[in-house]
Amino acid sequence: MKVVVTGASGGIGAALVAKQVNLGNDVIAVSSKTSTNGIATPDDGAQWLLNCPPAEYGMTLRPLLQQSLPNTVFHCCGVLHQNGLMPEKALRQFSPAQLLDNINANCIAAVNLLQVLEPHFNRQSQCKIIVLSAKVGSIEDNYLGGWHSYRMSKAALNMAIKTVSIEWRRRFPGVTVVAVHPGTTDSTLSQPFQKNVPASQLASAATTADRLSALAGQLSAEDSGALLHWDGSKIPF
C-alpha cells in the first residue's frame, strides 16, 4: 500500500508516518521542515519530501502521483497557536490576521492538496483521504464559544470536504474524503491546553496514529463528506 502523510513533522503526522512504516506500507512524508532531525531517524523507512510549505504539499507530490496513486492520504496539517499568539477567548481579541493564518493552515492547504490529487483520479480510482479537522469546527456542537479563528477555519474545512465529496461522488466513486477529529492528542498544538484535559482523555500521538490507521481501514464510500470522530462515529456539522 502507498500512503501519503502531509504535515508529517507534527505530533500526529510523525506518529502516523512511523505507524504506517511499521505496517509495511510505502510511506511518503511531506513537511515544511528543512530536516527530519528530532522527528524521524534517517533510516525510518519513509520517503521524506522536505522544505515544502503547506500550500505546496500537493505540488511537491505531483511527480510521484504520475507514477501511482496513493491508497491512503492523511493530511495532518493545522495550527491553533503560533509565535505566542493564542486562540481568542473573546471577540475583542479577534484579528483578521489570525483568522487568515488559521484559514491558510487549517483549510486552504487541504483544498490545495485535493485540487492537485483530482486530475489523477478516474472512475476506477480507489483512494481514502483523511483530513484532520476538529470537533470544535462543528457549528451545532459549539456550546463553549471562544477560539473564534480556529473554529471558523475548521468549519470552513468541514464545508470544503463536504462540497468536494459531492462533486467527486459520481465522477470518482472509489475515492472517499472525510474530515476527522483525531481526539485530544499530546502534541505541540494541544500542549498549552492540556492542564484542563483529564489524563484519560489525552491520547498519545502513537495511540491516535493507531486509531486513525484503523479508521482508514474501515472507511467506505458512504462516509465521504462526513465529519467523523476517530472511532468513525459522526459529528454533526
Ligand X SMILES: NC(=O)c1ccc[n+]([C@@H]2O[C@H](COP(=O)([O-])OP(=O)(O)OC[C@H]3O[C@@H](n4cnc5c(N)ncnc54)[C@H](OP(=O)(O)O)[C@@H]3O)[C@@H](O)[C@H]2O)c1
Judged by the rule CB under 6 A, the positions of this chain that interact with ligand X are: 7-13, 31-33, 54, 76-79, 82, 105, 132, 134, 181-182, 184-185, 187-190
Beta strands, E only, the chain: 2-6, 26-30, 47-49, 72-75, 127-132, 175-181, 227-229
Minimum distance from residue 44 beta carbon to ligand X (Å): 14
CB atoms within 10 A of CB 222: 8
Return the sign of the alpha-carbon dihedral for residues 165, 184, 154, 114: negative
For the CB of residue 227, give the shortest distance to ligand X in the complex, in Å.
12
Q: Nearer Cβ to ligand X, position 11 or 70?
A: 11
What is the smallest separation between the CB atom of 75 and ligand X, expressed in angstroms?
8
Q: Would you say 134 or 161 has its CB closer to ligand X?
A: 134
We find the least distance from the C-beta atom of residue 109 to ligand X, in angstroms, to be 7
**186/223 with CB nearer ligand X:** 186
Amino acid at the residue 207: T
Nearer to ligand X, 82 or 163 (CB): 82
The SS3 of residue 219 is coil
| Three-state DSSP class for residue 71 | coil
Distances (CA, A) of 230 to 35, 57, 142: 29, 23, 19
In whole angstroms, the minimum distance from the beta carbon of 5 to ligand X comes to 9
Q: Considering beta carbons, is residue 42 or 222 the nearer one to ligand X?
A: 42
